[in-house]
Amino acid sequence: MRREQFPPSMRSPALKAVEQQRSTHQVKRSMEQQPASTLLVTSVASQKRTGLTANWRLRRAPQGQPAHTPVQVMSEEEQKKLAELEMHLSRVAGKIDSWLLILVLALLCIGLVMLYSASSFLSARYYGDASYFFVRQLLSALIGVVVMLVTMRIDYRVWCRLSLIGMAIALPLLVLVLRFGTSAYGASRWLSFGSVFSFQPSELIKLVLALYIADWLARKGNQVATFLYGLAPFIILVGLILGLVLLENDMGTAIIIAVLALAMFFTAGANIAQLLLALGGGGLVFLAQAFRGYRYLRLIGFLNPFKDITGINLQLYQSLLALGSGGLFGLGLGASRQKTGYLPLPHIDSIFAIIGEELGFIGCVVIIVLFLLLAFRGFRLARRAPDIYGALLATGITTWLVLQAMINIAATTGSIPYTGVPLPFISFGGSSLVISLAAVGVLLNISRYIQQPEVPILSKQNMTINIKKRAAL
C-alpha cells in the first residue's frame, strides 16, 4: 500500500515530518521559478509602507525582466476627496510645545514690567496715575491669555472653514477706518468706541490673512505654480489689502503683511521666476510710496541721523542716546532719563530703547535671543506639521511675529528708516497684544499634532545601537 493510502490517524510522526519537509521544499522551488519583478512587488506590498514612504516608487526590475506597473487604486479626484474628509475627522491631540509657551510668557512678563517703567512718567504727568498705561496693558494681557487658551484648544483645521468669514469682516473694517478712524501720530489706524475702547483693524487683518491664505494655497495644490490660478489671484488679494493699509499711512504694517504673504506663497511651492517678478513689481510700488510725504523725510533722516535732531530725527536720535547711555548692564530698572519727556512714545514704538537704557546691552540681547528662539520653535512646527495647511499657517504666523520684532528693533537702532510698529508682547497696545496671543494659541494647537521623527538621530536608542556596532568592530 502506498504512503498516500494510509489514513492520517495511522501515519507515524516521522512520516508526517517527512511530508512537511517535502512540501516546504516544493514552495521554495516554485518561488525561485517566479520572475524577479513579481517577487519584488510581492515583498514591497507585504511591507505595507505608511507615512512618507507610502508613495515611493518601486525599484526597477533587473534587465531582461518585464517591468511591473503598479496599479493605481484611487484617482486624483478621490484622493482629494479623501484629504478633505480627513480634515473634518476628529483627532487625538497630544501635548503642546511647552518651550514655545514659556518663550511667549517670558516676553509677556518682561513687557509688562518694562511698560510700567517706561510709561510711569507720562502716566503720572497726563493722567495723574503712574500705573494708568500699565493697568490697561495688564487687562489686555489677561484677555489675550484667555483668548490664547481658547485658540489653543480649538483644532486649527476649524479655522480653514472660518477664514472666509473672517476676511469678510476684516476687509470692511479696513475701509471703515479710512472714513471713521481716529488719527494719531500721522496715521489713521484706530476705530474708537468712546473714550474707553479702541480697535486697530490692521492688526486683525494679519491673523485673518494668514488663516485665509493658508487655506487658499492648500486647496490650490500644484496650481500655485501657475500664473492664472496662482500668482494672479494672489497679487489681486494681497494688493487690495496693502492698498487699504497704505491709505492709513501705515508703511510698517504693509511691509509685514507683504512679507508674511510672500513667505507663505513661497512655502506653498510658487514658481521662482514669477515670484521674483512679483517682488520686483512690489518693490517699485513701495519705493514710490517711500518717496512721498513724511516717508521721504524719514528716509533722508536715516541717511544722516544726527542732522535735524529736534525735527524729523528727534525720535531716532533720542533712541540712540538712550541705547548708548545704558552701557553693558544699564542704568537700572526705572532709572531711565529719556522717558521723562525726551524720547517720544517710550512705551510704544521706542520701548526697546528704554530696555537698552535701563537693562543695558545684556537686556537687549536677552530680548533678541527670545525672539530668535521663538522663530526656531515656530518654523520647527511648520516643518513637522501634519498637513500643508498647518505648515503654511505656522510659517505665516511665525514670520509675522518675528519680522515685526525685527522691524521695531532695527528702526530703534537706526538700522532701517524709522517706522512705527509695536514690539510684539512688549509694546503698549491692546489690539496688537490680544491678536498676537491669539495667533500664538493657534501655533500651540498645531504643535499638538506635529509628527515626531520615528527615531531621532540623537536619541538614546540610536546612540546605543551605534555603540554596540563600534564594540562589535
Whether 44 shows a pLDDT value over 80: the answer reads: no
Q: Are 215 and 389 in contact (CB under 8 A)?
A: yes
Q: Kindly report, residue by residue over 250-283, the tens digit of the pLDDT.
A: 888 999 999 999 999 998 888 888 888 888 888 8
Cα separation, 16 vs 19, in Å, equals: 5
Question: What secondary structure does DSSP assign to 313-352, as a single string?
Answer: THHHHHHHHHHHHHTTT-S-TT--STTTTTSSSTTTTTHH
Total number of domains constituting the chain? 1
28, part of any domain: no
Whether 12 shows a pLDDT value over 80: the answer reads: no
Cα separation, 391 vs 215, in Å, equals: 11
Which residue is listed with cell 525726551?
A: 342
What pLDDT was estimated at residue 452? 65
330, part of any domain: yes
Residues 6+ apart with CB under 8 A from 323: 353, 356, 357, 364, 412, 413
Cα separation, 13 vs 385, in Å, equals: 59
Cα separation, 226 vs 21, in Å, equals: 63
Q: How many CA within 13 A on the CB side of residue 42?
A: 7
Q: Are 465 and 178 in contact (CB under 8 A)?
A: no
What pLDDT was estimated at residue 372? 97
297, part of any domain: yes
Q: Kindly report, residue by residue over 287-320, the tens digit of the pLDDT.
A: 888 777 777 888 888 888 888 888 888 888 999 9
SS3 of 48, please?
A: coil
Whether 133 shows a pLDDT value over 90: the answer reads: yes
User: Is the pLDDT higher at 18 or at 395?
Assistant: 395
171, part of any domain: yes
109, part of any domain: yes
93, part of any domain: no
**What share of the chain has pLDDT > 90, as a percent?**
47
User: Is the pLDDT higher at 473 or at 286?
Assistant: 286
What pLDDT was estimated at residue 313? 86
Domain enclosing residue 232, as ranges:
98-447
What pLDDT was estimated at residue 13? 53
Q: Kindly report, residue by residue over 210-225, the tens digit of the pLDDT.
A: 999 999 999 888 888 8
SS3 of 90, please?
A: coil
Whether 198 shows a pLDDT value over 90: the answer reads: no
What pLDDT was estimated at residue 332? 92
Please compute the mean of the pLDDT values over residues 45-67 and round it to a whole number.
41
Whether 359 shows a pLDDT value over 50: the answer reads: yes
pTM of the model: 0.77
466, part of any domain: no
Q: Kindly report, residue by residue over 80-125, the tens digit of the pLDDT.
A: 666 666 555 556 778 899 999 999 999 999 999 999 999 999 999 9
What pLDDT was estimated at residue 400? 96
What pLDDT was estimated at residue 469? 56
Q: Are 356 and 89 in contact (CB under 8 A)?
A: no
Please compute the mean of the pLDDT values over residues 452-472 and round it to a whole number.
54
Beta partners for 184?
Answer: 187
SS3 of 93, please?
A: coil
Q: Kindly report, residue by residue over 314-333, the tens digit of the pLDDT.
A: 888 999 999 999 999 999 99
Cα separation, 139 vs 308, in Å, equals: 39
Cα separation, 350 vs 367, in Å, equals: 14
Mean of the per-residue pLDDT values of the chain: 81
Nearest Cα to Cα of residue 244 among 165, 164, 170, 183: 170
Range list of H helices, 89-225: 98-127, 132-153, 159-180, 201-220
What pLDDT was estimated at residue 274? 84
Residues 6+ apart with CB under 8 A from 335: 358
215, part of any domain: yes
What pLDDT was estimated at residue 53? 32
Question: Looking at this protein, which amino acid is placed at residue 61?
Answer: A
What pLDDT was estimated at residue 89? 57
Biggest CA–CA distance in the chain, Å, is 121
List the grid coordinates of 301. Answer: 533722516
What pLDDT was estimated at residue 302? 85
CA–CA–CA angle 409, 297, 326 (5° rounding): 35
What pLDDT was estimated at residue 87? 58
Cα separation, 90 vs 108, in Å, equals: 33
User: Is the pLDDT higher at 185 or at 449?
Assistant: 449
Question: Looking at this protein, which amino acid is placed at residue 180?
Answer: F
